[in-house]
C-alpha cells in the first residue's frame, strides 16, 4: 500500500480532473513510447491521434509522465509537445528510477526535467491515480540470451505487482516470447487475448504461442479482471490484441532486420535500458519506416480495445455478485 503522501506527487491535468469528477472512465497512456519509441514528429502526431480516438469513444486519455517534479496524470497539448520534442533527452523511468527525478537527484546527470515512464512506471502511477486500464504498444519481456545477460524487463515484475490491465499488441519477437510467457505464468499474471487464440508479436499478428484465455468481448474481459481483483489477487492482467491485418508485417519482412539489429546491439555493447530503444530505432531505420507505420497502427488499435474495456469496467456493478440462485 502506498503511503498517503503519494497523492501529493500526482498532478492531474484539468481534463483528467474533470473526467474524474464526472465519473468518465480514464485510459492511461505511457510516455516512453513517445520519447524513446518513435521519432519526432510522428511521435507527437500519434500521441495526439491516440488521445483523440480515446475521447471519441467516450473515455478520457491520461498520458503519464514526470515533469517539473510531479507525476503528471494527463498532459495538455503543450506538455505533450514538450515530451515529444525531448525525445531521447527525456529520462527513461522504470520502477527503480521514479524517485530520483521526483526527488531532484537524477542518477544519470539530469539533462532534462522530463521523465518518460515505461510500462512498469506507468502502471505504478496509473494505480496511484486509480486508473484501471492502460494502453501501450508492446510490453517489455525476457530478452533473447537472458540466461546469460539477465536482461528481463522490469515490466514483467510490475505486471505481477500493480493492479492495472495492460492492453498491448503482445511483445516484440526480438524478445524471447516463450520465456516471457513462462515468466508471466510463474508470477500469476493472466494473459488474455482478443480477436485470436494466440498471443500477438507486435509487428506480427501471431507469436506462435497461445494466450491463456481468449476473450473477444469487452464485457467478458471486464468481468474477468473485476473478479481477479475482487478475489484479492493483486497484480496486472495482459490483454493482447493483434495489429490489424492491413498494417501487419510478415516474418519474411522483419526477421532479417531483427537479427541485424540484435547483432549490432551486441557488437556495440548496448546494455541496460538502452537496449529496447536501440533495437526499435534500428528496426525503424532498416525497414525504411515500415515498422513505424505498423507501430502506429497497432497503438491506435490497442486504444480502441482499451477504451472499450474501460467503458465495460465502468458499467459493471461494483459489488460482487450474490450467490447464484
Rounded Cα distance between 260 and 294, Å, is 19
Q: Least distance from C-beta 280 to ligand PSU, angstroms? A: 6
Partner that binds at residue 79, options ligand PSU, Mn ion, none, CB closer than 5 to 8 Å by kind: none
- Residue of minimal CB distance from ligand PSU? 37
Q: What is the C-alpha radius of gyration for the chain, rounded to an integer number of angstroms? A: 19
Identify which of residues 60 and 151 has a Cβ nearer to Mn ion in the complex: 151
Q: Least distance from C-beta 176 to Mn ion, angstroms? A: 12
Q: Least distance from C-beta 88 to ligand PSU, angstroms? A: 12
Rounded Cα distance between 167 and 192, Å, is 9
Q: Least distance from C-beta 264 to ligand PSU, angstroms? A: 17
Q: Which residues bind ligand PSU (CB under 6 A)?
A: 30, 32-33, 36-37, 118-119, 137-138, 140, 153-155, 172, 202, 273, 275-276, 280
Identify which of residues 168 and 310 has a Cβ nearer to ligand PSU in the complex: 168
Q: Which of 30, 51, 132, 158 is catalytic?
A: 30
Containing 238, the helix (H) or strand (E) segment is strand 237-240
Partner that binds at residue 172, options ligand PSU, Mn ion, none, CB closer than 5 to 8 Å by kind: ligand PSU
Rounded Cα distance between 195 and 203, Å, is 16
- Residue of minimal CB distance from Mn ion? 151
Site for Mn ion in 151-210 (CB under 5 A): 151
Q: Least distance from C-beta 115 to ligand PSU, angstroms? A: 12
Identify which of residues 95 and 308 has a Cβ nearer to Mn ion in the complex: 95
Partner that binds at residue 280, options ligand PSU, Mn ion, none, CB closer than 5 to 8 Å by kind: ligand PSU
Partner that binds at residue 33, options ligand PSU, Mn ion, none, CB closer than 5 to 8 Å by kind: ligand PSU
Identify which of residues 187 and 214 has a Cβ nearer to Mn ion in the complex: 187
Q: Which residues contact 167 (CB under 8 A, 6 or more apart)?
A: 133, 134, 135, 136, 239, 241, 302, 305, 306, 309
Contact 194, 205 (CB under 8 A): no
Q: Which stretch binds Mn ion (CB under 5 A): 8-16, 146-154, 195-203, 222-230?
A: 146-154
Q: Nine-digit cell at 323?
A: 450467490
Partner that binds at residue 301, options Mn ion, ligand PSU, none, CB closer than 5 to 8 Å by kind: none
Containing 252, the helix (H) or strand (E) segment is helix 251-267
Identify which of residues 215 and 275 has a Cβ nearer to ligand PSU in the complex: 275
Partner that binds at residue 202, options ligand PSU, Mn ion, none, CB closer than 5 to 8 Å by kind: ligand PSU
Q: Which of 92, 158, 172, 300 is catalytic?
A: 172
Helix H, strand E, coil C: the string for 254-306 is HHHHHHHHHHHHHHCCCCHHHHHHHHHHHHHHHCCCHHHHHHHHHHHHHHHHH
Contact 11, 72 (CB under 8 A): yes
Sign of CA dihedral 303, 254, 40, 170: positive
Rounded Cα distance between 15 and 26, Å, is 10
Q: Which stretch binds Mn ion (CB under 5 A): 25-33, 143-151, 170-178, 181-189?
A: 143-151
DSSP per-residue letters across 18-59: HHHHHT--EEEE-SHHHHTSS-TTHHHHHHHHHHHHHHHTT-
Identify which of residues 7 and 186 has a Cβ nearer to ligand PSU in the complex: 186
Could you confirm whether 273 is annotated as catalytic? Answer: no
Q: Report the interface residues with Mn ion, using CB under 5 A.
A: 151
- Give the residue numbers annotated as catalytic, written as ranges: 30, 172
Amino acid at each position: 500500500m502506498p503511503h498517503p503522501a503519494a497523492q501529493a506527487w500526482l498532478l492531474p491535468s484539468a481534463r483528467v480532473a474533470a473526467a474524474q469528477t464526472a465519473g468518465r472512465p480514464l485510459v492511461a497512456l505511457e510516455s516512453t513510447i513517445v520519447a524513446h519509441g518513435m521519432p519526432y514528429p510522428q511521435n507527437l502526431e500519434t500521441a495526439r491521434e491516440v488521445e483523440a480516438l480515446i475521447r471519441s469513444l467516450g473515455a478520457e486519455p491520461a498520458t503519464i509522465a514526470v515533469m517539473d517534479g510531479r507525476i503528471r496524470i494527463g498532459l495538455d497539448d503543450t506538455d505533450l509537445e514538450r515530451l515529444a520534442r525531448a525525445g531521447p533527452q527525456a529520462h527513461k523511468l522504470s520502477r527503480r528510477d521514479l524517485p530520483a527525478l521526483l526527488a531532484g537527484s537524477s542518477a544519470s546527470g539530469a539533462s532534462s526535467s522530463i521523465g518518460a515512464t515505461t510500462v512498469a512506471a506507468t502502471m505504478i502511477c496509473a494505480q496511484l491515480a486509480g486508473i484501471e486500464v492502460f494502453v501501450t504498444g508492446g510490453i517489455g519481456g525476457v530478452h533473447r540470451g537472458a540466461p546469460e545477460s539477465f536482461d528481463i524487463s522490469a515490466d514483467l515484475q510490475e505486471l505481477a505487482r500493480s493492479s492495472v490491465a495492460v492492453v498491448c499488441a503482445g511483445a516484440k519477437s526480438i524478445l524471447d516470447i516463450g520465456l516471457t510467457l513462462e515468466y508471466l505464468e510463474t508470477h500469476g499474471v493472466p494473459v488474455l487475448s482478443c480477436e485470436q487464440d494466440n498471443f500477438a508479436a507486435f509487428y506480427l499478428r501471431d507469436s506462435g504461442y497461445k494466450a491463456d484465455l481468449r476473450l473477444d468481448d469487452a464485457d467478458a474481459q471486464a468481468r474477468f479482471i473485476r473478479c481477479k481483483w475482487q478475489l484479492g489477487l493483486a497484480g496486472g492482467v495482459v490483454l493482447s490484441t493483434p495489429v490489424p491485418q492491413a498494417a501487419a508485417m510478415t516474418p519474411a519482412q522483419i526477421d532479417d532486420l531483427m537479427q541485424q539489429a540484435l547483432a549490432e546491439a551486441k557488437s556495440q555493447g548496448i546494455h541496460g535500458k538502452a537496449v529496447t530503444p536501440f533495437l526499435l530505432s534500428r528496426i525503424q531505420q532498416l525497414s525504411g519506416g515500415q515498422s513505424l507505420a505498423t507501430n502506429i497502427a497497432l497503438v491506435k488499435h490497442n486504444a480502441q480495445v482499451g477504451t472499450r474495456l474501460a467503458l465495460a469496467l465502468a458499467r459493471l456493478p461494483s459489488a460482487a455478485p450474490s450467490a447464484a440462485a
